């Protein structure tokens, strides 16, 4: 099998499984060029042709959707600052407010990415081909501003899925958007409590929307769980020092997988219309494993893979575990050890956190700070381009 065929095999890991690209479509061609450049010169054309098949301009690609966030969008500007500076400069006459122009620049990045995915969206009659566009993370506590931004994002293209935070205010936004038939992707989720609160909000709103005759034929609900950030941005390691021997790297990785598997099971058993998405994966344990990816594949779920994850699969080849593992139990000894940690229990137990507590959960705070920083970088870029 060729390197690309291993990615295609990953996309067929289970019935109902979907593989998405975790980056802006505007970065895809540069990634293909970079990967082809790593191959021996005689093989580069073939490698490039194989990778292009993952996200072609037409036909049925391997990637069935795209997720982005402010960090990935800011990277688009950094990748081609000369072009985007000129683009901003051309529009600065009509929009002298740097904040408004910064938002307009973000909408343009989303629009161009959506155009890349639109043929798939139309061919699949709205089932696939979505791209996530995120409301401003600086407004994560302001539902009115987020709703307004959501409708502006939705107006960009019919295949824009609006990304909202799993905060107390975000739940209000999620309900309003679902009532209006707007596809959503809920981000900054790290706990079963968040996933189930969002899933219940969506299901209740869908029932109301259907009763009112709202069109839902091209609507989708995605709930994004981020195990790597859950493990890295909270007190998992600090609390783990209280255990004999602490936590091994493998046990740390199982922490995120355990939360994901539990959330997946509750969604499936409850018949909720939302689909769980896995992203923010980390390598390990060791250089030859990606436990997050290998132990969480399964039916009725999505994996949004960054280029680094795709490279890992291509490099590992047949050694990668292409199997639906999400239904398997977490090793009993590992789970028992993790359940001794208050931080893990807060993420594992349904209802352990109230919606009001979501906002203060450490990975939520840290991730929103990272996303807000990226928005600030976009604002600074636009301000400099305007000459402000």
| pLDDT per position as a tens digit, 279-306 | 999 999 988 899 999 999 999 999 999 9
**pLDDT at site 56:** 74
> Confidence class of residue 387 from pLDDT cuts 50, 70 and 90?
confident
Residue 321 has pLDDT above 90, yes or no: no
For 174-282, list the strands marked E by DSSP. Answer: 184-189, 221-225, 275-278
Q: To the nearest whole number, what is the mean pLDDT of the chain?
A: 94
> Using an 8 Å Cβ cutoff, are 99 and 379 in contact?
yes
> Confidence class of residue 388 from pLDDT cuts 50, 70 and 90?
low
> What top-level class would CATH report for the domain 3-386?
alpha beta
**How many CB atoms sit inside 10 A of residue 64's CB?**
20
Residue 343 has pLDDT above 90, yes or no: yes
Residue appearing with tokens 């790597």:
228
**pLDDT at site 255:** 98
- pTM for this one? 0.95
**How many CB atoms sit inside 10 A of residue 43's CB?**
14
What long-range pairs does 335-342 form, CB within 8 A, spacing at least 24?
335/254, 335/258, 337/243, 337/247, 337/251, 338/251, 338/254, 338/255, 338/258, 340/242, 340/243, 341/236, 341/239, 341/240, 341/242, 341/243, 342/239
Phi then psi for residue 306, to 5 deg, are: -75, 165
Residue appearing with tokens 């969506």:
202
Enumerate the domain spans of the chain. 3-386
Closest by Cα among 141, 126, 212 to 173: 141
| pLDDT per position as a tens digit, 189-239 | 999 999 999 999 999 999 999 999 999 999 999 999 999 999 999 999 999
Tokens standing for residue 323:
């199997």
């Amino acid at each position: 099998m060729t390197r690309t065929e291993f990615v295609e095999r990953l996309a067929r890991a289970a019935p109902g499984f979907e593989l998405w690209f975790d980056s802006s479509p505007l970065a895809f061609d540069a990634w293909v060029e970079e990967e082809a450049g790593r191959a021996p010169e005689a093989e580069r054309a073939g490698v490039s042709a194989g990778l292009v098949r993952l996200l072609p301009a037409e036909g049925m690609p391997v990637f069935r959707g795209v997720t982005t966030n402010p960090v990935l969008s800011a990277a688009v500007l950094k990748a081609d600052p000369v072009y985007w500076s000129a683009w901003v400069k051309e529009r600065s006459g009509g929009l002298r407010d740097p904040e408004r122009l910064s938002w307009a620049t973000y909408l343009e990045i989303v629009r161009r990415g959506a155009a890349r995915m639109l043929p798939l969206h139309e061919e699949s009659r709205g089932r696939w081909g979505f791209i996530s566009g995120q409301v401003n993370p600086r407004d994560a506590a302001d539902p009115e501003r987020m709703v307004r931004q959501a409708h502006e994002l939705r107006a960009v293209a019919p295949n824009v899925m609006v990304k909202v935070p799993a905060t107390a205010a975000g739940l209000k936004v999620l309900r309003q958007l679902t009532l209006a038939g707007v596809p959503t992707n809920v981000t900054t989720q790290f706990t079963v409590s968040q996933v189930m609160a969002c899933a219940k909000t969506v299901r209740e709103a869908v029932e109301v929307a259907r009763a009112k005759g709202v069109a839902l034929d091209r609507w989708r609900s995605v709930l994004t769980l981020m195990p790597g950030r859950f493990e890295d941005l909270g007190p998992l390691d600090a609390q783990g020092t209280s255990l004999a021997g602490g936590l091994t790297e493998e046990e740390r990785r199982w922490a995120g997988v355990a939360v994901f598997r539990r959330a997946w099971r509750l969604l499936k058993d409850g018949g909720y219309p939302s689909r769980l998405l896995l992203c923010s994966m980390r390598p390990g344990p060791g250089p030859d494993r990606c436990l997050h990816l290998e132990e969480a594949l399964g039916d009725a779920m999505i994996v949004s893979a960054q280029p680094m994850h795709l490279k890992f699969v291509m490099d590992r080849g047949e050694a990668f575990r292409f199997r639906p593992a999400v239904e398997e139990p977490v090793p009993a000894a590992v789970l028992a050890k993790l359940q001794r940690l208050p931080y893990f229990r807060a993420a594992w137990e349904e209802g352990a956190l109230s919606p009001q507590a979501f906002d203060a959960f450490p990975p939520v705070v840290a991730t929103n700070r990272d996303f807000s920083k990226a928005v600030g970088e976009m604002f600074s870029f636009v301000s400099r381009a305007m000459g402000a």
